Every structure is written in C-alpha cells, then in structure tokens.
Structure 1
Amino acid sequence: MTDPSASSAAPHTSVSTHILDTSVGRPAEGVAVSLSVRAGGSSPWRDHGAGHTDADGRCKTLPALPEGTTHVRLDFVTGPYFTQQAEAQQDAPRVRDSGAFFPEVAIVFAVAPGEHYHVPLLLNPFGYSVYRGS
C-alpha cells in the first residue's frame, strides 16, 4: 500500500539567514531583511519575502523559493541598526559622523533546486562578510 503522505512533488529550495554584529559580539536585532528571486541571470528581480531579525539575529519569516528560482538576493537594511547602536553607546568615541558606512548590504547568490542555503552575515560598522553556512 502506498503512503498517501508521501509526495512526488519536488523538494523545496529554502533560504535562512542571521546576523552577528562582530563589533559587540552579539546578534543584530531588528534589521530589516528582504528576499528577492529571479529565474535566470537576465530575468528581473521579484520581491518574494521580508522580515526583521529577532533577538537571536535570525530572520525566521523567509518563505520557500518558487520553482525555477536560480538566483536569490538578500537585502539587509543596516543603517537604522547602526544608528540605534551608536545612540545606545553614548560613551563610545564618535568616529563616524555620516552614519553607517554600509547603510545596506545586498548579497546575491545562485541556488539549485531542493537545497537549503543558510547565509550568515557577519557585520561591523566598517565591514562585513558572508558565507554559506549549514
């Protein structure tokens, strides 16, 4: 007998992310994150999901990717986060007079069907790095 819960549908492709503020050694809470997708390198970007990072620096509201997605763009709006951090640290030296050096960070990467992509952002006021996590 065949299990009715077993589906022949293609496995979902998914993306997750989190942000660690390396300047303070803590997760970055409250950063807006948006997810855009496209099918093929010359196709236009389509908005697909959005959210904010939680107290653990994770954005848990990103939906599974639509079938046919080949490229993903994660946009992180970091400027307001850094402004809030600067105001919270009143005794810190004021070395930035023009706000965040990176007011936003955009990460574009290729995806394959059925895979999960965890893309952490390691962030500080003057630099960032990303990698494919697990």
Structure 2
Amino acid sequence: MTSKASISTHVLNLGTGRPAAGVTVVLYGPDGGVLSQATTNPDGRVDEWSTDFELVSGEYQLVFEVGDWFKARGEDSFYTRIPIAFRIERPDEHYHVPLLMNAFGYSTYRGS
C-alpha cells in the first residue's frame, strides 16, 4: 500500500492555543532512514508528505524540528527537536500521531 496519508500528524502550540504552522517534520522508517518529510500547514497539520512511502511492520519515528520554529518567532525553547517513536503492527491501518507542545513541554497520543 503506497500512501501519503498512512501516517498523519498535527501540531498544537499549547502556549498560544493555536495550530503550529510551519513546523518541519521528518519521518524515519524501520531501517532508521528518512522516509519522507513535510511542513505543517496553517492548520498545524501535515496533509501531504514530500514522497510516497509504503508502510511495513516496525518502529517509526517522527521528528519535529521545534527549535527552529520557536527561534523563527523570536522565542526561546528548551527543546531543539522532539522525536516520537512508535510501532506499526498493522500496515493497512491509518496512524495519526499528534504533538501538543509549548517551549518547555510536550505530549502526544495515538489519534484517529
């Protein structure tokens, strides 16, 4: 199954209560290599990856480049990047991995 939307994410800036537009997100596959990357849209969502990819069972990682994002807004951030590692057991399912963040903390969960 080749799909740009097999893995989706969105980023919410809890400091402002607004979507975080313009965050670079890099997706790593089970072999540790880069599968694709994207930038969050005005709604804070990745709606399209830079390349198609095929999901297989294994461990994946989304890395959010938040340090650059905060710096571009003239804000300090404790985090330079936020990695979220997760496991895919059923490649035919959709995986939504949101990030809720501010300059000094973050949270995530498996969404729908």
When the two structures are superposed, what TM-score results if normalisation uses the length of structure 1?
Answer: 0.73
Which of structures 1 and 2 has the bigger CA Rg? 1
Q: Relative to structure 2, which stretch is displaced further, 68-77 or 22-31?
A: 68-77
Correspondence for 1:54: 41
Instruction: Say whether 1:129 aligns with 2:104.
Output: no
| Amino acid aligned to 1:113 | P
Structure 1 residue 120, shift from structure 2 partner: 0.7
Distance 2:8 2:48 in 1: 9
CA-based RMSD: 2.0
Matched-pair contact (CA < 8 Å) for 2:59–2:87? yes
Equivalent in 64, 67, 70 of residue 76 of structure 1: 64
Cα deviation, 1:105-127, whole Å, max 9, x if unaligned, reads 00010012211111110010100
Distance 1:123 1:85 in 2: 15
Cα deviation, 1:22-81, whole Å, max 9, x if unaligned, reads 00000001110011111xxxxx31211101001000111236642534111101000121
Structure 2 unaligned regions, length at least 5: none
Distance 1:127 1:100 in 2: 9
Distance 2:108 2:10 in 1: 10
When the two structures are superposed, what TM-score results if normalisation uses the length of structure 2?
Answer: 0.86
Structure 1 unaligned regions, length at least 5: 1-9, 39-43, 88-98
May I ask how many residue pairs the two structures share in their alignment?
A: 109
